[in-house]
Amino acid sequence: MAYDYDLVVIGAGPGGLSAAKRAAHYGAKVAIAEREALGGVCLNRGCIPKTLMAYASRFQQWIEDARCYGWQVGEAQFHWHQFRQARDQEVDCARQSHTKTLAKAGVDLIPESAVFVDPHTLKLGDRRVTADKLLIAVGGKPIKPDIPGIEHCVTSREMFALEELPKRLVIMGAGYIGVEFSSTFRGYGVEVMLINADDEILSGFDDDLRKAVHNGLTERGVEMWCKTKAKEVEPVTDGLRVTLSGDCPETITADLVLCAIGRTPNLEELQLEQAGVEVQEKAIAVDDQYRTSQSHIFAVGDCTNRVPLTPVARTEGRIFADIHFGNQPGQLQYDLIPSAVFSHPQAAGVGLTEAKAREQYGEEAIACQRIEFQPLLNRLLDHPTSPDLFKIIAEKSSGRVLGVHLVGDQVADLIQGIGLAMHQGVTQHDFETMIGVHPTAAEELFS
């Protein structure tokens, strides 16, 4: 049977874009369907604008700290509208770049929602398109708890369209999204209250890292309630009243309530049952070649049962195209993927947490080195600051490093080189005999 395309990609986020461009590079006839802006959540409502917002939130503290270095600085003022315009211009520039590179690669862009009609056919607006292979790369979306008044809350999506900064912000959820927004908006001078159902923030990260970030946030004025949930949100004359349950059964009032309790694959509108694609635990299950239950339909990124991170989706898209259009076998290692939290302080990690290492290797088989220190930059400051934390987890018998977890300025940049070293089997002895650059924070790892 002749098809309209060799490949149709559903979703133009990092995974879909990388797959479409790569497959076209190998000579495939490719189309990509995207009903919203190119770049997906990461570019438009996630990593890029959120990190720019985090950068903007740091300047007030930097300006205040400049006095300790001899600078006399006048009163600082933050103009939200001016920053928002600059942020949105940068995002728009990146979107335009994607449009140009797709056109240069010969990929047809179809600005419509995709719905499966049968295993090889999609309904795209008022037209039908067939493809030999299809790639699902639709990403994820925020979820909300089923509590009274939840319709009055916003998700991360709406946080990028705020016309004005709130004076008081309540955040439900203390994963990386909730933590990053709490840190950022506190830096703008907003009163921030973080509600966390768990006993500590950043579930899934190393326990020492979680505590260090918690301490850093509270030091900067973020209020936290752990083992606590919101059970009702209702409008009142001076904002939104949030009723809490759990360890802190209080009532608090805010101008804005952000729900950041998690995300789920964005699958409902695809009508996957028409294509015979199986869904397991709300995600598309795939094999090591990104194949679904249908041999010609594939999936990458946050809509699958793998790791929901932008660079993972981007790499999966590239490897998918290499395998199925370039005849180049490849496989992604999911056990050594670095991740970071762009809060203040920053946090980053790669490999096993201490708890996971002891669970897998045994309590007595693991050695942990914890390094706490004040970086040189902070030593002239006239106010207390939490120390940076570097932690190395190794197997005692071989010395092989199993995990590294960092808290401090710019650790997101530092963790990537460590991830590469761990891929090469770096040992504790290698760290101890490496000579670091002096004076830097990174040299603390090599002492």
pLDDT in the model for residue 412? 97
Whole-angstrom distance, CA of residue 423 vs CA of residue 432? 18
Q: Tokens 């249908």 appear where?
A: 294
> pLDDT digit string (tens) for 106-126?
999 999 999 999 999 999 999
Instruction: Report d(CA 267, CA 143) in Å as an integer.
Output: 13
Q: Distances from the Cα of 235 to the Cαs of 72, 148, 255, 377, in angstroms?
A: 44, 11, 10, 45
Indicate if the pLDDT at residue 268 is higher than 80. Answer: yes
pLDDT class of 384 with cuts at 50, 70, 90:
confident
Q: 150-261: which CATH topology?
A: FAD/NAD(P)-binding domain (3.50.50)
pLDDT-derived band of residue 221, with 50, 70 and 90 as boundaries?
Answer: very high
More confident residue, 30 or 74: 30
Instruction: Please report the pLDDT score of residue 275 as a whole number.
Output: 98
What's the CATH superfamily of 5-141+264-324? FAD/NAD(P)-binding domain (3.50.50.60)
Q: Mean pLDDT of all residues in the chain? A: 97
Q: What is the pLDDT of residues 422-431, one digit of tens each?
A: 999 999 999 9
Q: String of b and e for 204-237 (b: at least 16 CB within 10 Å)?
A: ebbebbbebbbebbeebebebbbebbbeebeeee
DSSP designation for 322? H
pLDDT at position 305 over 90:
no
Cβ count within 10 A of residue 134: 27
The DSSP 8-state label assigned to residue 278 in this structure reads -
Secondary structure class of 202 (helix, strand, coil) = coil
pLDDT > 80? residue 15? yes
Confidence (pLDDT) at 1: 76
pLDDT of res. 158: 98
Same fold, 5-141+264-324 and 345-446: no
Structure confidence at residue 446 as a pLDDT band (50, 70, 90): confident
pLDDT-derived band at 291 (thresholds 50, 70, 90) equals: very high
Nearest residue to 302 (alpha-carbon basis) of 108, 46, 118: 46
Question: Using CA atoms, how far apart are residues 153 and 210, in angstroms rounded to an integer?
Answer: 26
Element (H, E) at 64: helix 47-66
Q: In this model, does residue 73 exceed pLDDT 90?
A: no
pLDDT over 80 (residue 415): yes
**What confidence category does residue 64 fall into, taking pLDDT thresholds of 50, 70 and 90?**
very high
Is the pLDDT assigned to residue 345 strictly greater than 90? yes
Report the pLDDT averaged over residues 162-174: 98
Residue with tokens 């891929």: 423
| Cα 430 to Cα 425: distance, rounded to the nearest angstrom | 10
Q: Stretch 259-286: mean pLDDT, rounded?
A: 97
User: Pick from 403, 276, 408: which is nearest to 352 by CA?
Assistant: 403
Structure-token pair, residue 418:
């460590």
Q: How far apart are CA 309 and CA 314, in angstroms?
A: 9
CATH class of domain segment(s) 345-446:
alpha beta
pTM: 0.96
Is residue 242's pLDDT more than 80? yes
Q: What is the CA radius of gyration of the chain?
A: 24
Q: Which two tokens stand for residue 270?
A: 């695809």
- Given the structure tokens 């438009």, which residue do they identify? 44
Residues of the chain with pLDDT > 70, as a percent, come to 100
- Ranges of beta strands (E only) in 285-400 are 297-299, 339-341, 347-351, 366-373, 388-395
Residue 136 near residue 297, CB atoms below 8 Å: yes
Min mean pLDDT across 201-210, 316-325, 437-446 is at 437-446
pLDDT of residue 447: 73
**Do residues 229 and 377 touch, judged by C-beta distance below 8 A?**
no
- 423 an active-site residue? no
- Encode 98-161 in three state secondary structure: HHHHHHHHCCEEECCCEEEEECCEEEECCEEEEEEEEEECCCEEECCCCCCCHHHCECHHHHCC
Per-domain residue ranges of the chain: 5-141+264-324, 150-261, 345-446
